[in-house]
Structure 1
Amino acid sequence: MITFYPGPSKVYPQVRQYMLDAYDSGILSANHRSSAFMQICEKTLGLLQAKLNIPETYSVVFVSSATESWEIISQSFTQNSSHHYYNGAFGQKWYEYAHKIVSQATSQAFDSNQNPVLTEVPEECDVICLTQNETSNGTQLPAAFIESVKTNYPDKLLAVDATSSLGGVALRIEQADIWFASVQKCLGLPAGMGLLIVSPKALEHARKISDKRFYNSFLFMYDNIQKYQTHYTPNVLNIYLLMRVLESVEPLDSIADKIRQQAANWYTFFDNHPSLKPLIHNQEVRSDTVITIGATEDKIAFIKQAAQKEGIVLGNGYGDWKSSTFRIANFPAITEQEIRQLQALLKNIDK
């Protein structure tokens, strides 16, 4: 079975051997206060900084998922309120969840085909929240826009959801104060773990708030990771697998170049297709990692069924586009041969 589902998505093929290695090494039975685990934790954190171009001054902690980070940001980094800027379902969900924790949270929605322009940020808000890659509709925020937000609002923290881009897009981590993502997309691993990346400025702000009310309060997590430990029993297998994958993959800039070229090829393919067209017609905001294609509901159902017969899984549409789109993951673990196989199927879909 070939999967193009945009998360959980295809894992790197070498993960099979890495899982066997993890079992044979005994690390799966080691406790998370042991020297064996601490060595793996330290090595993994170093590889994350080296391979994902994370500045050494930033801290990385392991969380259960990207969506857990929504809660941590509201509890540990938001003193007054957060302001959420979004154009799709996941950005909206982040706002709605944050609003349950901090009732003063505000939002600004924009159209998925619109070039982003951030306005009306409340003076009292601490954190501006952006979704770099909106998985529901296949859009991404240009790096220049994220930089402009950072420049125009230097006194606020900038938090960015990079769930469908971390590990596949050459993100400039220094552009924001908080980044978060899950490992089951561009990092090519099984679901069940996320990463929260925090700048010195955000750490200082968290210390000012001094939130220690919850087990997942960031300061508790930070204190433990300084010892290469975790505050709760972690997903040891995924940390080990992340270490092994990071050891084996190319530098991020090389991966991002490949992903960007594959995305350009995908969009050219669909721009020239007789009946299947990208949902996002504004080329400046099209995602490199999640390709969202629109058609009639009957056509979408037919295509997914035809792909299933060929052993190919396509991503369902999401939210407002659930029935009128399908999504294609353009993640690093997916091979060129698999892409050619899917394109051959789609090329003949109207014949």
Structure 2
Amino acid sequence: MLNFYPGPAKVYPEVRTYMTDAYDQGILGAPHRGEQFVQLSRATVGLIKRKLNIPEDYYIFFTSSATECWEILIQSLTKHKSYHIYNGSFGEKWCDYAKKLRPKSEGIAFDLNEPMPVEQLNISADTELICFTQNETSNGTQVSATTILNLHNRYRDTLIAVDATSSMAGLNLKIIKADIWFASVQKCFGLPSGLGVMVCSPRAIFRAKQIAERGHYNSLVGMYEKMLNYQTTHTPNVLGIYLLRRMLEDRPFIKGLEQELVDRSAMLYEFFGQLPDMQLLVENEEVRSKTVVAIQASERLVDDIKKRALHHNIRLGNGYGPWARTTFRVANFPAILNEEYEELKRFFLHYYS
């Protein structure tokens, strides 16, 4: 089965060997307070920083998912409200969830074919956390590094949190331009779901200590205190962390990976943009995602293409949210081989022949 679903996505084939090694090395039964886990955690944190180009003074935390990070950040870094900027379903869900915890939280939606309207934002001084999704999986858009820099420069005194679920470990993110970045590993990391990675600046940790919120199992200040010794507040996904370490050991540095994905995304957009009865959902090239390609067509055509593809052992991504019935999505993640995209192209060319 060729898997182009944008998460959970194709895992690296080496994962099979990694899992066998984990069993043989006793990782699956390793105590999470023991030295074996501490060494594993320390090594993994070091690799995350080196391979993903993360500043040395930033802190790394392990969670169950990116969705859990939404909760941790609102609980531990806000007393009153956060501000959410979104153009798709996942950014909007983060906003809706924040309002359940902090009813004064605010959000603004912008068009999927427009850049984030940084100059038009009116974020009040009492906002404690600005939140957005760097790569919106639901519609195949992204927020550029330049836009993030502009937001950072305009609101220097406010913490900025970025959901990078569909781009971390695929793109060379400018980590220093925001305070918190997080992702789940079932996309660009090429690993099974069940593990999240959260990256926090010294300023974010300072703010967490100021608020000193300790009312939840994964309160950020408690997570920070445990990770000083490379431990977690909870019994973690030890296997997931081991797989993450092994994957990072075997993967190139993020700068090289990013260039491969950027080049391949250009090929995919050019290919799908020329197919009859289809159009790219995101018309503005400036805001198109490099890791999730969204293609729009009639509901009938989308349904037929997905069924025919599955018959040929090709799994395409369903549409999501408002675009659920009229789009399909194609993941452009590092674990997927160039030859697999060539086979995908052959399928579509045969479909129209």
Tell me the TM-score normalized by structure 1: 0.99
Given candidates 120, 123, 128, the residue that maps to 2:122 is 120
Question: Partner amino acid for 1:257?
Answer: Q
SS at match of 1:124: coil
DSSP 3-state at the match of 1:160: strand
Structure 1 residue 173: deviation in Å? 0.4
For residue 257 of structure 1, what is the aligned residue in structure 2?
259
Q: What amino acid does structure 1 have at the position aligned with 2:42?
A: E
Q: Which runs of no fewer than 5 residues in structure 1 stay unpaired?
A: none
Paired with 1:350 and 1:279, the residues of 2 have a C-alpha distance of 20
- The CA distance in 2 between the partners of 1:142 and 1:62, in whole Å, is 26
Secondary structure, counterpart of 1:31 in structure 2: coil
Equivalent residue number for residue 109 of structure 1: 109
Shift of 1:52: 0.4
Alignment of 1:266-285 (within 5 A): 266-285=268-287
**1:275 aligned partner, one-letter code:** D
Alignment of 1:1-351 (within 5 A): 1-118=1-118, 119-351=121-353
Counterpart-to-counterpart distance in 1, 2:293 and 2:270: 12
Deviation at 1:278, TM superposition (A): 1.0
Q: Within 2, Cα distance between the matches of 1:102 and 1:328? A: 35
1:350 is displaced (CA, Å) by 2.3
RMSD: 0.7
Q: Which amino acid in structure 1 is aligned with residue 136 of structure 2?
A: E
Q: Measure, in 2, the Cα distance between the counterparts of 1:330 and 1:322.
A: 19
Instruction: Name stretches of at least 5 consecutive residues in structure 2 with no aligned partner.
Output: none
| Runs of 4 or more above 6 Å deviation | none
Tell me the CA shift for residue 20 of structure 1. 0.2
- Distance in 1 (CA, whole Å) between partners of 2:348 and 2:221 is 50
**Following the alignment from structure 1 to structure 2, what is the Cα–Cα distance between the partners of residues 202 and 229?**
19
Q: C-alpha separation between the residues in 1 aligned to 2:343 and 2:230?
A: 43
Q: Percent identity between the aligned chains?
A: 48
Deviations, residues 230-264 of structure 1 (Å, cap 9, x unaligned): 11100000100000000000110000000000000
Measured in 1, the distance between the counterparts of 2:208 and 2:335 equals 36
CA separation in 2, counterparts of 1:129 and 1:171?
16
Cα drift, residue 71 of structure 1: 0.5
Displacement of 1:124 in angstroms is 1.1
Q: Return the alpha-carbon distance in structure 2 between the equivalents of residues 87 and 251 of structure 1.
A: 30
The one-letter amino acid of 1:5's match is: Y
Residue 115 of structure 1 deviates from its aligned partner by: 2.0
Q: Cα offset for 1:80?
A: 2.4
Normalized against structure 2, the TM-score is what? 0.98
Offset of 1:275 from its aligned partner? 2.1
Shift, 1:179, TM fit: 0.5
Amino acid at match of 1:194: G
The range that moved more, 87-96 or 114-123, is 114-123
Q: How many residues align?
A: 351
Residue 166 of structure 1 aligns to a residue in which SS? Answer: coil
